[in-house]
């Protein structure tokens, strides 16, 4: 089995190869689960609620949903198609498509930038995933039982103030991610995701149920869904756009690499819609579970990255079976984060194995080491180095800001233009597999005009060139 394709290995049927000789996902479901595993992660449960809180609620959520619909979904389809067409890691895959299409070499930048964005995200993603891991023993030991909001806030603050602890948990996350990616255990992963996703959904529903029992459910609902556009700023629109990319795992190599293992007969349209739907549902459920608790406990919706690590433990400390629910919840969150982290590491590893003919193990070790160094920078941003800022942003803030708000939308813009304008219609018709009827035309129109114009308008608005 070739090194580059051993990701898809693990279950015997996964070793079915395409005409081009590349190992592929065992089934359509395997791809959907892996892509959904990539999409659903900290972005949905940790980031979505806290940025919604910071950006005023309803109007922000509406813009985010619009971005998913008119930009995220069409770009996701384009990205999967590019991955499948390239049949390689993002850099070489895009390169070969550029060559095949006789396009300007400039377009190769799409692949390189995606690899870089994925790497930068994983630097901080592993540290935040470490928070979820750290909360498993906390929850299981009953540390939240009867604790006040202040005490739980202090627990979170204590964790952030401890660079050694954060490093240990982050290292654990990286080590597990490297181990899984180096072994190409996709078969086992498929199974893990299979039980994890429904489990996460059930627990989120339990938490929403609990939130309903507080007398602030309506308040939470109103915060999430009543749009007050006066609260929307140029930068919050940019954050909403960036988050649509982040939460769907776009423009960072992940979806493109997973798409490169996709058999030709699988419908890109249906799978993209399904993944986007699941992803959005999980984010909204997380919001519904969290905001009523925020208001019921007199907390600040704009409290920042600690939001779920403070609100949910309060609930776990008060509800029946809270210790068990809390432990299970953080285990599920940790696994959801791991399946995303795996998809963030895979593109770089597949690039190194294919480009430099390196073994997967070596590529994982090397990338892991670099990620670990980046992770230390992120850890220090949270405590000792909180004052070390550039343009008022710590290293962690900078990684998050640059990737989500600029690199990913820019990558998405380039993919939309490349697929919509540069590639021939024959190529996209062939790859999308939805005929050349109305559906295809609607997709192409969105990709050619709607998505690029929307992204450019948000960019210009954020830069202050125009005012919405
Ligand atoms: N989509 C993941 C999440 O929401 C994060 C991610 C971004 C994963 C980019 C892969 C690539 O948590």
In order of their start, the domains of the chain are 20-462 (1.20.1740)
Q: Which of 136, 17, 70, 1 is nearest to 457 (CA)?
A: 70
Position 188 confidence tier, pLDDT thresholds 50, 70, 90 = low
Q: Which of 404, 297, 301 is nearest to 56 (CA)?
A: 301
Residue 15: pLDDT over 50: no
- Residue reference for tokens 């255990």: 185
| Residues in CB range of 141: below 8 A, 6 or more apart | none
Q: Which atom of ligand 1 approaches the CA of 279 most closely?
A: 4
The dihedral formed by the CA atoms of 8, 36, 237 and 221, expressed in degrees to the nearest 10: -170
Lowest-confidence region among 16-20, 227-231, 394-398, 450-454: 16-20
Residue minimizing CA distance to atom 11 of ligand 1: 249
pLDDT given at position 13: 36
Entry pTM = 0.93
- Residues 274-284 have a mean pLDDT of 96
Specify the 3-state DSSP secondary structure of 86: helix
pLDDT given at position 176: 93
Q: Give the separation between CA 399 and CA 373, rounded to whole angstroms.
A: 14
CA–centroid distance, 297 to ligand 1, in Å, is 30
- Residues 271-295 have a mean pLDDT of 95
Mean pLDDT of the chain: 91
- Residues 159-179 have a mean pLDDT of 96
Phi, psi values for residue 390, rounded to 5°: -125, 125
Does residue 245's CB lie within 6 angstroms of at least one atom of ligand 1?
Answer: no
Q: Is the separation of the CB atoms in 153 and 310 below 8 Å?
A: yes
Q: For residues 97 and 12, which has the higher predicted lDDT (pLDDT)?
A: 97
Strand partners, 23: 17
CA–centroid distance, 43 to ligand 1, in Å, is 6
CA–centroid distance, 125 to ligand 1, in Å, is 9
Dihedral sign, Cα of residue 166, residue 132, residue 182, residue 81: negative
Q: Which of 290, 312, 309, 313 is nearest to 301 (CA)?
A: 290
Q: Which atom of ligand 1 approaches the CA of 336 most closely?
A: 12
Reported as a single tens digit per residue, the pLDDT across 302-320 is 999 999 999 999 989 998 8
Q: Give the separation between CA 295 and CA 305, rounded to whole angstroms.
A: 17
Q: Give the separation between CA 344 and CA 360, rounded to whole angstroms.
A: 15
Position 186 confidence tier, pLDDT thresholds 50, 70, 90 = low
Q: Which of 204, 227, 260, 243 is nearest to 79 (CA)?
A: 260
Reported as a single tens digit per residue, the pLDDT across 322-361 is 999 899 999 989 999 999 999 999 999 999 999 999 999 9
Specify the 3-state DSSP secondary structure of 390: strand
Q: Is the separation of the CB atoms in 411 and 252 below 8 Å?
A: yes
Reported as a single tens digit per residue, the pLDDT across 356-408 is 999 999 999 999 999 999 999 999 999 999 999 999 999 999 999 999 999 99
| Residues in CB range of 419: below 8 A, 6 or more apart | 78, 81, 82, 428, 447
Q: At what angle do helices 307-318 and 268-296 cross, to 10 degrees?
A: 70
CA–centroid distance, 409 to ligand 1, in Å, is 14
Mutate-to-test residue for ligand 1 from 76, 90, 247, 334, highest number of ligand atoms within 8 A of CB? 247
Within 299-450, residue ranges assigned H as helices are 307-318, 322-356, 360-381, 395-400, 408-417, 425-432, 438-445
- Residues 222-249 have a mean pLDDT of 96
- Enter the tokens of residue 457: 């308008």
Q: Give the separation between CA 66 and CA 72, rounded to whole angstroms.
A: 9
pLDDT given at position 78: 97
Q: Which of 389, 404, 411, 393 is nearest to 462 (CA)?
A: 404
Residue 18: pLDDT over 90: no
pLDDT given at position 2: 38
- Residues 403-417 have a mean pLDDT of 97
Q: At what angle do helices 268-296 and 186-213 cross, to 10 degrees?
A: 40
DSSP character for 386?
T
Q: Which atom of ligand 1 approaches the CA of 337 most closely?
A: 12
| Residues in CB range of 191: below 8 A, 6 or more apart | none
Residue 26: pLDDT over 90: no
- Residues 98-116 have a mean pLDDT of 97
Q: Which of 466, 449, 461, 13 is nearest to 240 (CA)?
A: 461
CA–centroid distance, 118 to ligand 1, in Å, is 9
- Residues 125-137 have a mean pLDDT of 98
Q: What percent of the chain has pLDDT over 90?
A: 82
- Could you tell me how many residues make up the chain? 468
pLDDT given at position 55: 96
Strand partners, 17: 23
pLDDT given at position 198: 83
Specify the 3-state DSSP secondary structure of 436: strand
Position 34 confidence tier, pLDDT thresholds 50, 70, 90 = confident
- Enter the tokens of residue 365: 């070790």
What's the number of CA atoms in the CB half-sphere (13 Å) around residue 21? 4
- Enter the tokens of residue 70: 């008119």
pLDDT given at position 199: 86
Position 164 confidence tier, pLDDT thresholds 50, 70, 90 = very high
């Amino acid at each position: 089995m070739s090194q580059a394709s051993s990701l898809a290995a693990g279950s015997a049927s996964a070793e079915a190869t395409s005409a081009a000789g590349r190992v592929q996902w065992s089934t359509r479901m395997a791809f959907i689960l892996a892509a959904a595993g990539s999409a659903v992660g900290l972005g949905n449960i940790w980031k979505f609620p806290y940025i919604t809180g910071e950006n005023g609620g309803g109007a922000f959520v509406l813009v985010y949903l619009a971005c998913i619909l008119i930009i995220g979904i069409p770009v996701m389809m384009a990205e999967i198609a590019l991955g499948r067409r390239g049949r390689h890691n993002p850099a070489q895959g895009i390169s070969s498509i550029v060559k095949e299409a006789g396009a300007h070499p400039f377009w190769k930048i799409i692949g390189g930038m995606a690899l870089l964005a994925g790497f930068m995200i994983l630097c901080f993603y592993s540290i935040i995933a470490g928070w979820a891991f750290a909360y498993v023993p906390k929850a299981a030991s009953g540390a939240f039982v009867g604790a006040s909001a202040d005490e739980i806030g202090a627990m979170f603050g204590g964790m952030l103030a401890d660079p050694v602890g954060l490093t240990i948990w982050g290292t654990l996350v990286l080590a597990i991610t490297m181990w899984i990616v180096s072994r190409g255990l996709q078969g086992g992963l498929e199974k893990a995701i299979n039980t994890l996703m429904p489990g996460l959904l059930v627990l989120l529903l339990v938490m929403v149920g609990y939130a309903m029992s507080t007398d602030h459910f309506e308040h939470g609902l109103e915060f999430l869904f009543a749009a007050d556009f006066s609260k929307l700023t140029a930068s919050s629109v940019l954050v909403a756009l960036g988050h649509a990319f982040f939460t769907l795992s776009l423009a960072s190599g992940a979806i493109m690499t997973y798409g490169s293992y996709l058999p030709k007969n699988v419908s890109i349209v249906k799978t993209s819609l399904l993944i986007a739907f699941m992803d959005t549902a999980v984010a909204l459920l997380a919001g519904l579970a969290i905001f009523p608790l925020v208001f019921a406990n007199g907390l600040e919706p704009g409290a920042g990255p600690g939001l779920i690590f403070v609100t949910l433990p309060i609930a776990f400390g008060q509800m029946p079976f809270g210790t068990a629910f809390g432990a299970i919840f953080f285990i599920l969150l940790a696994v959801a984060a791991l399946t995303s982290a795996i998809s963030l590491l895979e593109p770089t590893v597949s690039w190194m194995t294919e480009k430099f003919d390196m073994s997967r193990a070596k590529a994982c070790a090397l990338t892991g080491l670099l990620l670990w160094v980046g992770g230390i920078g992120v850890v220090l941003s949270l405590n000792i180095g909180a004052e070390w800022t550039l343009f008022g942003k710590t290293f962690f803030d900078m990684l998050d800001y640059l990737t989500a708000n600029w690199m990913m939308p820019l990558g998405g813009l380039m993919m939309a233009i490349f697929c919509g304008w540069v590639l021939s219609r024959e190529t996209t018709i062939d790859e999308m597999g939805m005929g050349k009827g109305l559906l295809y035309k609607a997709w192409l129109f969105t990709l050619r005009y709607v998505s690029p114009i929307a992204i450019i308008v948000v960019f210009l608005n954020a830069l202050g060139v125009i005012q919405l």
